[in-house]
Chain A
Amino acid sequence: MKFLHAADLHLDTPFIGISDFSKELQQQLKDSTYQAATKLFETAIAEQVDFVILAGDIFDDTDSSLKAQMFLRDEFEKLNQADIKVYLIYGNHDYYRNNFAVVNFPKNVKVFGQDVSTVAINTKDGQRVGLTGFSYYQQHIQQSIVQDYPDRGNFDYQIGILHAGVGDDNYAPFQVSDLLKKGYDYWALGHIHKREILHEAPMVVYPGDIQGRNQNETTPKGFYIVSVTNQVTQLKFVKSSIYTWDKASINALADDTIDSLINKIADMLDQSQTLITLTIDNAQNLNNDVIKTIKRDEIRQHFVNVTTNGILYKIYLKFNDNPQLAKVDQKYWDEAATSTLNLDNIKDLDSKLYASDIIREHINEPGFLSSIKELTKNTINQKYTGE
């Protein structure tokens, strides 16, 4: 038995910070989610899998998914011709709403409903496989739906399909142990864009998204071909991403000039189809004019106009600790940090800003505080150097 497990296709994702790029590159980036999906379906046919699992967030936006729906219908039809079934759930991004699905998918496609349900399939090698799952019918699900999943049924192999985050209160929170209790053979997860195997035997797998969509979604992206022989499950990762996001850094030296930095950066852009987010470390070493030039985005503009294998997406300046700071007793800094750099204080800083959904969600993101702390330190470091 063989199946394909993918999630978070996010077809039609808008890309940000690309407006400077050539029209061609912009278009290729916009198309990349489709390209990756095409690769996925081609692989399914080439590998002659029994079925394909798509674990939620297939569309990036349910208000406008006609193109994606038609694309999927065509791709699903190809799978249908190849006698490959599709098991699909909707996630928080493409949660089901009235009038959402106007395109009828072919018969080989099973879309799970709002309530947890189980379907069975007999594979080509005679295995009876059960698949259990549900679709989002609202954007946020606070309760743990996993408890509604039935215990293992009378199947040779049972798969749980779930779009959720570990302990993520907004998205059907669960713990790995909850899953293990069900006694399934494979948990096909979706929602987290970072590829991750939470547990082996039984397998609990996030395949990640199939194409990185922003600077934080680094590394090649793809999906898993899962082979089961003699009850042994084996995973094979297949890369589908057309563009890979990557992070890189260079160390700034006091005698660095714009030209020398450009040379250093050019050396880093050796991988084709790669979008590099670059950090210039020890920026405090740099000459003030150089810093200003970088802040005016001139280096990045330079690379927009120059042909390189990789693409320079963005440059961050990292100002490291400055000896000047040491003059003030660290305990004062630390003491002040606890009263200044805390979430309540940040939330109270400006009520109007906190009223903005975008900013509120941002503040409430895990990791916000530590990243802001870093940014604040960077700001102080830079400021002190700059003066």
Chain B
Amino acid sequence: MKLVKANVYGFGKWVDQRFNFEQDYQVIFGANEAGKTTLLNFIKSILFGFASARGENKYLQYKPRNSGKYGGELELKADDDSLWMIRRIEGKGDGEVTLFHDDQQVPTSFLSEIIGSFTKDDFENTHVFDDKAILSIYGLDENKLETEVMSIGAVGSKDWLATADNLNHQADDIYKQRGQKQPLVVNLKKHDELIEEKAEIENQQQAYQRVKTQLEKTQADFDDNEVLLKKVSETENDLRNLDKKWSRYEQLQQKNDPNKEADQISSDDWENVLKANQELSTLKETPLTNKASELNNVEKAVLNNYRTNQNQLNYIRNQKFELQNLQFHRDDMNSKLLKVDTQVDQLFKNHTQLSEQMRPLTTDEIDQITPQANKTNNLPLMVLGVAVVLAFVIGNPLRLLFGLVAIASAVWYWYQIRIKNNKMALSNFPFLEQKGYANLPQETILSLQGTVIALDNFRGTQNGLSDGIKSIEVDLNKWRKILIELNVLDESYKSDNYNEQIEKYFARLDQIKAKADLSEQNAIETQKITVGRKQRLDNLNDNIEQILQKYDAINMDSFIRMHTKQVENQQVITQINQDKDFLGNDLSELKKYASHEALTKEFVQATNKKSELADKNNELSRQMGSLKEQMQQVFDNAQYQHIVAELAQNKADILENYDEWISQKLASNWIRQMLNIATENRYPKMIEKATQYFSLLTNNNYVKIDFDKKDIFVTSAKKNRFDVHELSKATTIQLYLALRLAFVTEISDLIKLPILIDDAFVDFDISRTENVFKLIQEIAKSNQVIYVTANQPDNIPADHILKLGEENIA
């Protein structure tokens, strides 16, 4: 397919512009900004679609600014000389395409007749050479080149390649040789770890056998030790027992057996002596007479006194009542005197003017001081006097009556005096002062006369009574003297109740007399008892003496000492017997030890030995426990079982991973291999061709192109091998050209599209530029080349040059 015409409706700077192209190669020459690259982009866009308005490509849309029209037509000539015309104008997506074949409109799907399965990217990668494309050489590797070749070689091969790639990637997700995280890698690592872990676990049977042997040996040791321990334990117990008994043993050793042959005081004798002695001392301590019935000296004196003065005392006893009468008489007078004293006091109390000096006035004297001489009625006074005397002399109740009469008459008299006194001066009467009425008014004197008379009478009575009392007192004192003499009264007795004292005396006397009789009787009784006791004492002493003699005891004390000694001895014997019983058979054992230290030493040794053995016993028991546990662990074998199960699972996982990996890997390889076959081994042919082109371009400086995993290598004629990165820029471009041109020519039987070169050779020297053009011309024979440049090319026929910017456009 060769491009013959381009008809631009509107694209970048080009509007309504037509271009004609040579069919083999076409050089388009123009200054910068002349629109060369725009033209190349126009060709690409019409063939494969406009650039989208989005992303980086929007600058490649080339929508004209000075025209509403967008797009254009390309006319291509097929190998059979039929003409294809592609029209692309603005429309949905990458533009609206109309396709004509020999002026007949055909479905757009026929576009593949021209561009095959190429996309714009494919075309740019393989047929377009510009600065950008050339740089992509650094990303080229064998796989990519091969893929590119194969992608063109068979129907749907691109999908297949993608699938193969995809499978390869998926396989890489399962396993990568240098990977770390992929499941197969992980599982293989885990397998190694598990094997290692398994190797660390002892063979179960061996472990079992080993532990079993150990256990049996330990068990035997334990049993032996157990026997020893038992023996030592017994020894220790025996020794402990002896140790406990040692003190008793020692006690026993220190006790001397008392002589049993010494005289034994029989218990009967002992008791008899004791009893007798007790009675003896009781008897000795008992008083012989009843002292309570004895008369004391005072009593004796009283009795003697009585006996001496019996007649007088008996007389006194009879005169007792006489004495009593005397006393009564005196007392009576005393009480009367007391009464008169009271009445006198009463008079003084009632008559404040009354004084002790006042004496009754005689009738004359009264008349003198009475104005109505003699007219004064003295009758009241007489009545009064009689009444008072009668009142004192006569007993009740008449005394009261006379008292009243006396008072009434006194009042009457007093009244008369008073009337008289008012009429006279008293100072004229000296008797008044003599008789104690000085300074008193007459009336008062007169009125007091009754009272003074009464007082005077009272005085007389008082004197009489006092005299009576005195004479009685004299009698009584006589009696007192007699009574004192007869010891009836004590001198110290001050009172005069002699009657009572006499009675008291005789009461006591009678008592003493009775007591004296009793005492006499007692004396007779006591005499009898004393005789009996004397006999009993002699008996007892004899008994004691007999028994004491029997045991050669000097006296009671020595006998008691003998008995005490005997009791003590008995105690010792009992203790010794108890000790012997307590010690029993151990006694002979204990005797083997010289001292307690020797025993203790042996005991401590035994204890130490026992604890040593017990420790060993515990240790062995613990070991056995541990071994039994180990045995159980060996038998249970959980860890091992776990690892074995893990290993089995791990193996299954590994194989599952591997099967998946290998099937994906193989599937990928199978697809690629299938495509390779289907594409007739274009790739090796292409490399061969590229080598040839490269050699040509470099004046045979390089003779080989080959690859490692990532990079392209070239070998110089001098057999030096260079990485693509080591090459000069010009050489790199040459290599790229060689590879690309080889590729295009290799697939030219399938896809024939013009090669577009955008000023790619600016860095070439003259000779290389010439070589390039030689190659282009050579290739152009089978594949059209369109080459835009800002440099005027030499040695190119003019009809193959299209100058932009000049008016030679068709």
Interface residue ranges, A against B (CB under 8 Å): 12, 14-17, 19, 61-67, 69, 99-102, 324, 327-329, 332-333, 335-337, 339-341, 345-346, 349-350, 352-353, 356, 358-359, 362, 371-372, 375-376, 378-380, 383-384, 387
Taken together as a complex, chains A and B put the C-alpha atoms of A372 and B184 apart, in Å, by: 17
Among A19, A66, A69, A337, contact of B649 (Cβ-Cβ < 8 Å): A19
Taken together as a complex, chains A and B put the C-alpha atoms of A227 and B163 apart, in Å, by: 61
Residue pair B654, A356 in contact (C-beta under 8 Å): yes
Interface centre among A64, A67, A324, A356 (most CB of B within 10 A): A64
Residue pair A99, B203 in contact (C-beta under 8 Å): yes
Taken together as a complex, chains A and B put the C-alpha atoms of A349 and B664 apart, in Å, by: 12
Taken together as a complex, chains A and B put the C-alpha atoms of A384 and B166 apart, in Å, by: 11
Kindly report which residue of chain B lies nearest to residue A64, judged by CB atoms.
B204
What per-residue 1/0 map shows which CB atoms of B31-54 lie under 8 Å from chain A?
000000000000000000000000
Distance in angstroms from B394 CB to nearest chain A CB is 152
Residue pair B162, A387 in contact (C-beta under 8 Å): yes
Near A by CB (< 8 A), chain B positions 581-627 give none
Among B648, B652, B658, contact of A353 (Cβ-Cβ < 8 Å): B658
Residue pair B670, A341 in contact (C-beta under 8 Å): yes
Taken together as a complex, chains A and B put the C-alpha atoms of A63 and B639 apart, in Å, by: 13
Residue numbers in A under 8 Å from B206 (CB-CB)? 99
Residue pair A328, B162 in contact (C-beta under 8 Å): no
Listed stretches B151-159, B285-293, B469-477; interface member: B151-159
Interface of A is mostly: helix
Kindly report which residue of chain B lies nearest to residue A382, judged by CB atoms.
B667
Residue pair A350, B674 in contact (C-beta under 8 Å): no
Residue numbers in B under 8 Å from A63 (CB-CB)? 198, 201, 203-205, 640
Residue numbers in B under 8 Å from A387 (CB-CB)? 159, 162-163, 166
Residue pair B205, A102 in contact (C-beta under 8 Å): yes
A/B interface sample: 7 pairs, CB < 8 A: A17-B652, A102-B208, A336-B674, A353-B188, A372-B663, A372-B666, A376-B670
Distance in angstroms from B219 CB to nearest chain A CB is 18
Residue pair B635, A67 in contact (C-beta under 8 Å): yes
Residue numbers in B under 8 Å from A359 (CB-CB)? 654-655, 658
Q: With contacts A66-B204, A336-B671, A379-B666 known, what are 13 further pairs, Cβ within 8 A?
A: A63-B203, A64-B637, A66-B208, A102-B208, A328-B156, A332-B678, A340-B670, A346-B662, A349-B662, A358-B191, A375-B659, A383-B163, A383-B167
Residue numbers in B under 8 Å from A349 (CB-CB)? 662, 665
Residue numbers in A under 8 Å from B671 (CB-CB)? 336, 380
Distance in angstroms from B215 CB to nearest chain A CB is 13
Residue numbers in A under 8 Å from B201 (CB-CB)? 63
B175 at the interface (CB under 8 A from A): yes
Residue pair B651, A358 in contact (C-beta under 8 Å): yes
Residue numbers in A under 8 Å from B648 (CB-CB)? 14-16
Residue pair B677, A335 in contact (C-beta under 8 Å): yes
Residue pair B655, A376 in contact (C-beta under 8 Å): no
Taken together as a complex, chains A and B put the C-alpha atoms of A100 and B663 apart, in Å, by: 41
Question: Interface size of B by Cβ–Cβ distance < 8 Å?
Answer: 55
Residue pair B678, A99 in contact (C-beta under 8 Å): no
Q: Known contacts A14-B645, A340-B673, A387-B163: does B666 contact A352 (CB below 8 Å)?
A: no
Residue numbers in B under 8 Å from A375 (CB-CB)? 659-660, 662-663
Among B205, B635, B666, contact of A341 (Cβ-Cβ < 8 Å): B666
Taken together as a complex, chains A and B put the C-alpha atoms of A77 and B278 apart, in Å, by: 101
Residue pair A350, B175 in contact (C-beta under 8 Å): yes
Q: Known contacts A332-B677, A346-B662: does B167 contact A379 (CB below 8 Å)?
A: yes
Residue numbers in B under 8 Å from A65 (CB-CB)? 204-205
Q: Known contacts A63-B204, A99-B205: does B191 contact A336 (CB below 8 Å)?
A: no
Residue numbers in B under 8 Å from A341 (CB-CB)? 666, 670
Interface centre among A69, A340, A352, A387 (most CB of B within 10 A): A340
Taken together as a complex, chains A and B put the C-alpha atoms of A324 and B156 apart, in Å, by: 10
B669 at the interface (CB under 8 A from A): yes
Taken together as a complex, chains A and B put the C-alpha atoms of A359 and B640 apart, in Å, by: 23
What per-residue 1/0 map shows which CB atoms of B96-140 lie under 8 Å from chain A?
000000000000000000000000000000000000000000000
Distance in angstroms from B289 CB to nearest chain A CB is 118
Q: Known contacts A327-B156, A339-B673, A383-B163: does B649 contact A16 (CB below 8 Å)?
A: yes
Residue pair A378, B678 in contact (C-beta under 8 Å): no
Distance in angstroms from A214 CB to nearest chain B CB is 8
Kindly report which residue of chain A lies nearest to residue B188, judged by CB atoms.
A356
Residue pair B666, A340 in contact (C-beta under 8 Å): yes
Residue numbers in A under 8 Å from B167 (CB-CB)? 379-380, 383
Residue numbers in A under 8 Å from B156 (CB-CB)? 324, 327-328
Distance in angstroms from B709 CB to nearest chain A CB is 15
Residue pair A383, B645 in contact (C-beta under 8 Å): no
Residue numbers in B under 8 Å from A66 (CB-CB)? 204-205, 208, 634-635, 637
Distance in angstroms from A318 CB to nearest chain B CB is 13
Taken together as a complex, chains A and B put the C-alpha atoms of A46 and B358 apart, in Å, by: 175
Distance in angstroms from A95 CB to nearest chain B CB is 14
Taken together as a complex, chains A and B put the C-alpha atoms of A332 and B680 apart, in Å, by: 10
Taken together as a complex, chains A and B put the C-alpha atoms of A19 and B649 apart, in Å, by: 9
Residue numbers in B under 8 Å from A12 (CB-CB)? 641, 644
Taken together as a complex, chains A and B put the C-alpha atoms of A111 and B138 apart, in Å, by: 73
B177 at the interface (CB under 8 A from A): yes
Kindly report which residue of chain A lies nearest to residue B162, judged by CB atoms.
A387
Residue pair B649, A17 in contact (C-beta under 8 Å): yes
Residue pair A99, B667 in contact (C-beta under 8 Å): no
Residue numbers in B under 8 Å from A384 (CB-CB)? 163
Taken together as a complex, chains A and B put the C-alpha atoms of A67 and B631 apart, in Å, by: 12
Residue numbers in B under 8 Å from A335 (CB-CB)? 674, 677
B209 at the interface (CB under 8 A from A): yes
Residue numbers in B under 8 Å from A380 (CB-CB)? 163, 167, 667, 670-671
Taken together as a complex, chains A and B put the C-alpha atoms of A340 and B154 apart, in Å, by: 19
Q: Known contacts A353-B175, A358-B191, A380-B667: does B673 contact A336 (CB below 8 Å)?
A: yes
Distance in angstroms from B188 CB to nearest chain A CB is 6
Residue numbers in A under 8 Å from B660 (CB-CB)? 375
B160 at the interface (CB under 8 A from A): yes
Q: Known contacts A350-B175, A372-B662, A378-B663: does B677 contact A336 (CB below 8 Å)?
A: yes
Kindly report which residue of chain A lies nearest to residue B644, judged by CB atoms.
A14
Taken together as a complex, chains A and B put the C-alpha atoms of A215 and B198 apart, in Å, by: 26
Interface centre among B154, B166, B205 (most CB of A within 10 A): B205
Residue pair A328, B678 in contact (C-beta under 8 Å): yes
Distance in angstroms from A146 CB to nearest chain B CB is 30
In the A-B complex, list the 4 residue pairs whose CB atoms are closest, starting with the nearest. A336-B673, A336-B674, A375-B663, A64-B204
Taken together as a complex, chains A and B put the C-alpha atoms of A230 and B671 apart, in Å, by: 64
Distance in angstroms from B91 CB to nearest chain A CB is 30
Kindly report which residue of chain B lies nearest to residue A339, judged by CB atoms.
B673
Distance in angstroms from A45 CB to nearest chain B CB is 27
Residue pair A352, B177 in contact (C-beta under 8 Å): yes
Residue numbers in A under 8 Å from B163 (CB-CB)? 380, 383-384, 387
Residue numbers in A under 8 Å from B678 (CB-CB)? 328-329, 332
Residue numbers in A under 8 Å from B676 (CB-CB)? 336
Taken together as a complex, chains A and B put the C-alpha atoms of A279 and B144 apart, in Å, by: 38
Q: Known contacts A332-B677, A350-B177, A376-B663: does B204 contact A327 (CB below 8 Å)?
A: no
Residue numbers in B under 8 Å from A64 (CB-CB)? 203-205, 637, 640-641, 644
Taken together as a complex, chains A and B put the C-alpha atoms of A335 and B160 apart, in Å, by: 16
Taken together as a complex, chains A and B put the C-alpha atoms of A102 and B159 apart, in Å, by: 65
Q: Known contacts A353-B658, A359-B658: does B665 contact A383 (CB below 8 Å)?
A: no
Distance in angstroms from B116 CB to nearest chain A CB is 16
Near A by CB (< 8 A), chain B positions 204-235 give 204-206, 208-209, 212
Distance in angstroms from B202 CB to nearest chain A CB is 9
